[in-house]
Each structure stands twice: as structure tokens, then as C-alpha cells.
Amino acid sequence: MPSRTTEAVSSETWPALPLEGWKDTYATLHMWTQVVGKLALKLSPLTNHYWNTALQVTPRGLATLPLTADHRSITISFDLIAHQLVLESSDGKKTTVSLEPRSVAEFYRLVTAALTRLDIPGRIWTMPVEVQNPIRFEADTTHRSYEPTPVQACWQVLVQTKRVLEQFRSRFLGKTSPIHFWWGSFDLAHTRFSGRPAPRHPGGIPNLADTVTREAYSHECISVGWWPGGGFSPILEPAFYAYAYPEPAGCPDAVIAPATAGYDMRMREAARSRSGCRRPCVCAEYLRRGRKPGRLATSTPGALTFTFRGSEPAPGCCPRCP
């Protein structure tokens, strides 16, 4: 039996996810993750840069860190294989909410009822953050789509991106963030810090308190990650990105390769669209190994280098890299 091609393996491991094909489901899932993320904010003590609120990529989907309700430990998980929201507590109780086409308002009502069944306090601020034209959860009957196939494709990309970024993270000895999912902006991110305080952030992110932004960017940092595109971004397709705060001098003029990558002056960050990467597994393997011709690294504290080069894998790279 002939072996599968590298492209075939890569397309399964790094599935295509054109924004236009799932934008309604994406918008609904985004709001659902915000409901759960706000519960994480309520049910856990604040850690630096709000890391306690981020969701974690799991072998079945996305989940909160362990939360606390009175004397119990709580987790809330999006099981994107069984398509259920699973709420579990350390006293052995468990309840679920099915993930299916339903409005944000209905989802919020069902989650609130599930919390009540587990005797978990669940009062949150119901205004979405970091989105255009926000609608309070309890009033949102606009967003109501859910298609399992693109949701699983998105999760698969998150799994693979986390796998690569964990290798990247392991090589840095300073302060680094976990590889985690931010439900406000719907992206998977990793951040490195120089150790120096940063200038006061100007704030201004829609429906997000400036105090939150200033805590998030209280120290010099550089972030890398992946997101599906859209939202406030002018990039309307999935993309890998990198940015620094504060932005080092020379970033807009730095040479970025290949031609499918570039520095976006509107977003003040470097980005490469997912469609511009012919073999994402190759980019991933070069990044994992930390060798040319693929590199994503800081050169000096706060400075940024963002390059993905080459279309062929290193010897022995595939099919191990997918």
C-alpha cells in the first residue's frame, strides 16, 4: 500500500479553516467561550496578567483551570469530541449542556441552570468583551449557529499550535506564560517577558476595562500565537502572529520572509496567513527544532524576529512532524 503524502498527512493534522465557511459558528462559539471564561474570572483568584482566566487546550477540547466554589474544586470543559459542555466538581457531581445550534441566550440560561444544579454561584458581568456590537448574553438571540466539523478543525489547529509552542516555550529560561487560549480575542498565545516594567498601556480595547489591559501589559513582553482571523483584525483568514509591547524601534521596517508574511501597520504586528503556508507541519518542525530556515525568536530583550522560510522539510522531518 503506498504511503500517504506529506501534504495529505498535513491536511489532516493542520486542517484548512477558511473564515467564510464557519463565521457564524465561530461567532457563536466565541460568545460561549466568553460565558465560561467569565465564570473562570469569578471562581478563581487573580494571578498575574489574568492567566487564571484563560482556557486550556485539552485532548478533548478547551477547559478552565481548576476553579473554586466553597470547599470544592470545579472545572468547566468544552468537550469538542462529544460536543458537550461538562461541569464537574470534586464532590463527584457532574452535569452537561449539549453543544448544538442554539442561541447565546439559551446557552447562558442552560449554563446558569447547570451551575444551580451543582450549587455553584455563577453571577457574572454578561457584556461580551473585545467584540464589535456586543449583545448581553441573556439577550443574544442573534448568534445561534453550531457546526461540529469546523469546530473540531479549529480545535485540531489549536492542539497542533500548542504542541509546537510548548517546544518553543521550553527553550526560554526567563518568565513565560503558559500556552493558553484567550476567550476575549479567541486566540491561542504564548508570551515571553524581558523582566522590565513596560510603559503605561493606553488601553482603549472595546468593552474591556483599561485596568485589565494595563495589568496584562504591565511588563515588557513579546507574544506569538494563532487566531482564526476576523473580529477587529483586518486579516480575514487564520494566521500566525507575533507582536511586542512596547514595540521596539525598527519593527515596521524589518525584513520579514516569505512574501506571504508581513508587518501590519494597522495591527502593529507581524502575521502570516494560514493559507500562505504550504506545509504548516514544516514550519512547525523548524520552529520546534529552533533551526533555520524557520525561526521565531527574540533577538534582544523586547526585540522581535518573525520569519518562516523554506518549503521543504529538514531530512527526517516528515511524517514525524505532523
Is the domain of 227 the same as that of 119? no
Domain endpoint, select from 86, 116, 139: 139
Instruction: Report whether 193 contacts 65 (CB < 8 A).
Output: no
The pLDDT of residue 9? 62
More confidently predicted of 253 and 107: 107
Residue 306 has pLDDT above 60, yes or no: no
Is the domain of 133 the same as that of 153? no
Q: Predicted confidence band at 124 (pLDDT cuts at 50, 70, 90)?
A: very high
215 in a domain, yes or no? yes
Residue 318 has pLDDT above 70, yes or no: no
Cβ within 8 Å of residue 32, ≥6 positions away: 78, 85, 99, 104, 107
Residue 282 has pLDDT above 60, yes or no: no
The pLDDT of residue 142? 98
Provide long-range contacts, Cβ within 8 A and 24+ apart, for 43-51.
43/67, 43/68, 43/69, 43/74, 43/120, 43/121, 44/68, 48/215, 49/177, 49/191, 49/215, 49/216, 49/218, 50/212, 50/215, 50/216, 51/177, 51/178, 51/180
Amino acid at position 294, single letter: G
Domain endpoint, select from 116, 139, 162: 139
Q: Predicted confidence band at 116 (pLDDT cuts at 50, 70, 90)?
A: very high
32 in a domain, yes or no? yes
Is the domain of 67 the same as that of 174? no
Is the domain of 57 the same as that of 135? yes
The pLDDT of residue 79? 98
The pLDDT of residue 231? 79
The span from the CA of 178 to the CA of 180, in Å, is 6
Q: Predicted confidence band at 232 (pLDDT cuts at 50, 70, 90)?
A: confident
The span from the CA of 122 to the CA of 312, in Å, is 51
The pLDDT of residue 257? 63
Q: What is the pLDDT of residues 160-180, one digit of tens each?
A: 999 999 999 999 999 999 999
Is the domain of 223 the same as that of 268? yes
- H/E stretch holding 193 reads strand 187-197
The pLDDT of residue 207? 84
Residue 44 has pLDDT above 60, yes or no: yes
The pLDDT of residue 274? 54
The distance between the two most distant Cα atoms of the chain, rounded to a whole number of Å, is 61
Among 216, 226, 229, 213, CA closest to 177: 216
The pLDDT of residue 7? 62
- Average pLDDT of the chain to the nearest whole number: 83
Residue 305 has pLDDT above 90, yes or no: no
Determine which of 240-244, 266-270, 284-288 has the lowest per-residue pLDDT on average: 284-288
pLDDT over 90 for what percent of the chain? Answer: 65
Could you give the angle at the alpha carbon of 277 between the alpha carbons of 273 and 283, nearest 5°?
A: 115
Is the domain of 31 the same as that of 111? yes
Is the domain of 247 the same as that of 168? yes
Total count of domains within the chain: 2
The pLDDT of residue 6? 57
The pLDDT of residue 315? 32
More confidently predicted of 204 and 231: 204
The pLDDT of residue 147? 98
More confidently predicted of 182 and 281: 182
Residue 213 has pLDDT above 90, yes or no: yes
Instruction: Report whether 95 contacts 87 (CB < 8 A).
Output: yes
